[in-house]
Amino acid sequence: MLVVGPNGVGKTNLLEAIHVATQGFSPRTRTDSQVIRFGAEGARAAVSGRRGEVRMELEVTVRRGEGKRARLNGASLRAAEQLRSMVSTLVFTPDRLGVVKGPPAARRAYFDRVLGRLAPARAALPTEYGAAVAQRNAALRRAAGGHSGREAIEPWSERVAALGAELVAARLDVLAQLEPACTDRAAELGLDGVTLRYEGEPPTPEALAAALERDLERGATSLGPHLDDVVLAAGGRDLRSFGSQGEQRLALLALLLAEAETIDDRTGVPPLLLLDDVLSELDPERRRILAARVRSAGQALVTATDPSLLPAVPDQLLEVTPGTVLEAAA
Ligand SMILES: Nc1ncnc2c1ncn2[C@@H]1O[C@H](COP(=O)(O)OP(=O)(O)OP(=O)(O)O)[C@@H](O)[C@H]1O
Ligand SMILES: [Mg+2]
């Protein structure tokens, strides 16, 4: 589906609304009140669709000062974020290039979200590990300040080691699942030899014990997956530092397409793809390849300022003007 309109008419707003309705949060901001129209009291985003033969109605409402509410087929959900475990929507926006060119924390957050989708049973692992690190850090500071003995750190070190090892193993698993498809999709888009390499070791009890003096001094745990990174490289070159803008964009696209394929393989349901401003920076050949790939990947919405940017006939063409979205003849 191609969504067209001049700059500033609301194409990104439309994609954001679909993301809010299907995932329970905005890809742009974690501050829910920012999705409300200026001057309005609340916002409501609702979508209906089908998964196989099953109809699905999703609705998310946000009211200033009241928080969010989500409903699935009329039934209220405990938290809007629950939608994420029920429906998969993957989004490309230029903001998300941070996954490739941003600091390690951006990649950790991305891959941990993928982990949650691909292995729902392990979805809480990153949070549980983060909580264990926070507890160990608090114990380190208490011991350093003389408010408790060092032995009080021990149980938290054990927990950091156990959950840390589990988290590293889970992340390696995610990378192993994504890498082959990511390499293929990237090569198809003209970026050869893409690899995903995990940088970090599981934090063993021995390594944590060896780091104790340093950790006491800093009041923080100096090793473990909360500090690890994933190196995205092409032909051995780290794309974070050495990739061109276009290469970074292709790598992110390849990653999202690989994620979509993996989700489809695992669950039998392809995710909804929202690709915002993806075409403008790609050369015509790459746009053609992307259009063909996206067509076979389930349902996708692609935005562009001009329909001629998509070198394929979309199944549906939507024209956005301020405040309205109309179906146009493709
Ligand atoms: N909370 C809000 N309430 C009202 N208007 C808003 C709000 N947030 C953003 N806008 C406005 O919505 C307009 C449309 O923005 P949007 O980013 O969707 O345009 P676009 O069609 O994606 O443009 P471009 O082609 O430049 O990406 C902008 O002028 C923006 O200032
Ligand atoms: Mg936009």
pLDDT, tens digit, for every residue of 81-134?
889 888 899 999 988 999 999 999 999 999 999 999 999 899 999 999 999 999
What is the residue range of 162's domain? 100-268
Task: Please check whether residue 55 lies inside any domain of the structure.
Answer: no
Q: Which amino acid is at 43?
A: A
Task: Please check whether residue 150 lies inside any domain of the structure.
Answer: yes
Task: Please check whether residue 84 lies inside any domain of the structure.
Answer: no
Strand-pair partners of 51: 54
Taking each helix axis from N to C end, the angle separating 104-118 and 125-144, rounded to the nearest 10 degrees, works out to 130
Ligand 1 pocket check: which of 2, 4, 9, 20 to mutate, most ligand atoms within 8 Å of Cβ? Answer: 9
Alpha helices in 268-316 (DSSP H): 284-295
pTM over 0.85: yes
Calculate how far, in angstroms, residue 322's C-alpha sits from the geometric centre of ligand 1.
Answer: 9
pLDDT average, residue stretch 276-304: 90
Task: Please check whether residue 75 lies inside any domain of the structure.
Answer: no
Question: How far does the chain reach from its first CA to its final CA, in angstroms?
Answer: 10
Give the whole-number percent of the chain exceeding pLDDT 70: 100
Ligand 1 pocket check: which of 3, 4, 7, 12 to mutate, most ligand atoms within 8 Å of Cβ? Answer: 12
CA distances from 105 to 41, 111, 185, 262 (A): 34, 10, 24, 23
From atom 7 of ligand 1, which residue's Cα is the shortest distance away? 37
Statement: residue 51 has pLDDT above 90: no
pLDDT average, residue stretch 241-250: 93
What is the pLDDT, as a whole number, of residue 12? 96
Q: How confident is the model at residue 168 (pLDDT cuts 50, 70, 90)?
A: very high
Q: How confident is the model at residue 330 (pLDDT cuts 50, 70, 90)?
A: low
Task: Please check whether residue 213 lies inside any domain of the structure.
Answer: yes
What is the pLDDT, as a whole number, of residue 84? 86
Q: Phi and psi of 84, rounded to 5°?
A: -60, -35
Task: Please check whether residue 48 lies inside any domain of the structure.
Answer: no
Statement: residue 258 has pLDDT above 80: yes
What is the pLDDT, as a whole number, of residue 311? 86
Calculate how far, in angstroms, residue 7's C-alpha sits from the geometric centre of ligand 2.
Answer: 7
Q: Phi and psi of 327, rounded to 5°?
A: -80, 130
What is the pLDDT, as a whole number, of residue 81? 84
Task: Please check whether residue 282 lies inside any domain of the structure.
Answer: no
Q: Say which range, 159-168, 185-194, 260-269, has the weakest mean pLDDT.
A: 260-269
From atom 18 of ligand 1, which residue's Cα is the shortest distance away? 10
What is the pLDDT, as a whole number, of residue 183? 98
CB neighbours of 128 closer than 8 A, spacing ≥ 6? 163
pLDDT average, residue stretch 271-294: 91
Statement: residue 30 has pLDDT above 80: yes
Domain tally for the chain? 1
Q: Which residue has the tokens 């993301």?
A: 19
Task: Please check whether residue 192 lies inside any domain of the structure.
Answer: yes
pLDDT average, residue stretch 196-211: 97
Q: How far is Cα 226 from Cα 198, in angstroms, rounded to an integer?
A: 13
CATH of residue 166 = 1.20.1050.90
Q: How confident is the model at residue 211 (pLDDT cuts 50, 70, 90)?
A: very high
CA distances from 47 to 3, 61, 168, 231, 257 (A): 17, 12, 37, 37, 23
